[in-house]
Chain A
Amino acid sequence: MAEGRGLTPLQLDALREVGNIGSGNAAVALSTMVDKKVLLSVPRATLVPLVKVSDLVGGAETPVVGIYLHISGEASGSMLLLLEEKSANQLAHLMVSGGEQGELSTVEQSALQETGSILAGSYLNALSQMTALLLRPSVPGFAMDMAGAIIDFILVEISQSEDYVLVIETQFDILEHVIKGHLILFPDLGSLDLILGRLGVSG
């Protein structure tokens, strides 16, 4: 993406639609996993300047949970699910019944990691199907730390090509809880153009 570039509303809509379909698949998988009704929705897809990503979750020092996947194949990049600490805790306690409030146990951490993996995988599948591109996710990495610290190495990987990243807001509705997260797609050079072209909304 050249500097100052934006996406048209039509392009963002197309990407949000991919998010919706991916979320549908993820919701089914998560519902089965936790044996509770899980609704997933995608309120918004936006293009955010790289340096503003940590502002999405309240600034560079805000404690967050990050689940990171590297994507390889016909298009490449990184995907990061960011959950604010409170949301991550809620989600973990819902996933692992009988879990105690407070610090995350190892079991809860792996439940979160699995959730991130399912979510990212479902989104990737949807993207893969709609674009007929082969996309392979890596094993997910997991970290709980300051938002800025979690994001900065991904900036390194793509700062040489892109100035903006695609942020797909996700919302989990589990029982009476509403849990908000950000699924962030960092496409490598040329990958976003390729994806948009395959979705039939090239610029």
Chain B
Amino acid sequence: MNETLADAGVETAVTSDASSCFARFVNVQKSYDGVELVVKDFNLDIRKGEFVTLLGPSGSGKTTCLMMMAGFETPTHGEILLKDEPISGLPPHKRGIGMVFQNYALFPHMTVAENLAFPLEVRHLSKAEIKEKVAKALAMVRLEEFGDRRPAQLSGGQQQRVALARALVFEPELVLMDEPLGALDKNLREEMQYEIKRIHARLGVTMIYVTHDQTEALTMSDRIAVFNDGIVQQLASPDELYERPENAFVAYFIGENNRLVGEVSEHLGDNCKVRLDSGDTVIAKPIAVGGVGSRTTLSLRPERVSILSGDAEEQFDNQFTATVQEVIYLGDHLRTRVTVCGNDDFILKTANAQGVGVMRPGQHIQVGWSSADCRALDV
């Protein structure tokens, strides 16, 4: 196994030009029962040092993909390549991939230091080397004092950090994380997100991260693969995903989103006219729509909708009268639920700035948005 790692190391040194892919999924399919495909056709190229997140609702196949990379599941079809070498035939312990499990999987009968020493011992490192590396790894996650404790004597966050240190202590080039922060409370989770990012930046390891929490994905990742139904719906950087979702699922899954449903009535160069079911006509940007007459879902971020005060400068190509239903005060901003174009679940987000008037339920207001922010997607 040492040999494999060493070989691999040499190879990266030779072919470490940026363009080459570090890990690849090529047409990977997976079925457990031979009837249903859990992963339908998964393709992903991961560059060296990248932080890629597989994001999706539970049962979307993201964890299965991770397990196939780790070697605990075999693809039914397709190939997984690590540094251009197919690894399907390689058992997990020969892959040299670090992994952080959902419930940490720290060995309860060993101390923290023994847990960290395990991957080094099985690689037959000398005692002195092991001691040094364990100490370094503990320092990295700031748990120097905890080497002699048992995992059960640590808090959730500390256990999480030990799990992270254990996955990194043998210096793998690829680290997989399966919803590692799922068991932590919100504050700790945010702290750990930062910590993982910091370690990723410092060590430059490639990380594949699985989560169903979109905020986590947006904060941490270089690129995100949004999973649904065994297919990658969109693979893009966080801002790209948020600003320019390519289909209704991604728009709905990432961030908050107002939906208006209608059918395309006219194409106008870069834009199109959509006739909503309520009878109103909206100008939108066609992203994933067919010709005139096809059904479409318009996606519009709440913060991109403005409340018009009546000034002449405010000009939007979409302007409607809305009825205020509910105002929720959130401190730094206000969420206002209004009825517009037949949708009574339409959310507006406005900054709590000076000069913003108080709205009351039942009040009629003018709202407007730019056609560039209104994306016509599939149904």
A binds B: no
Which residue numbers of B lie inside 8 Å of A, CB to CB?
none
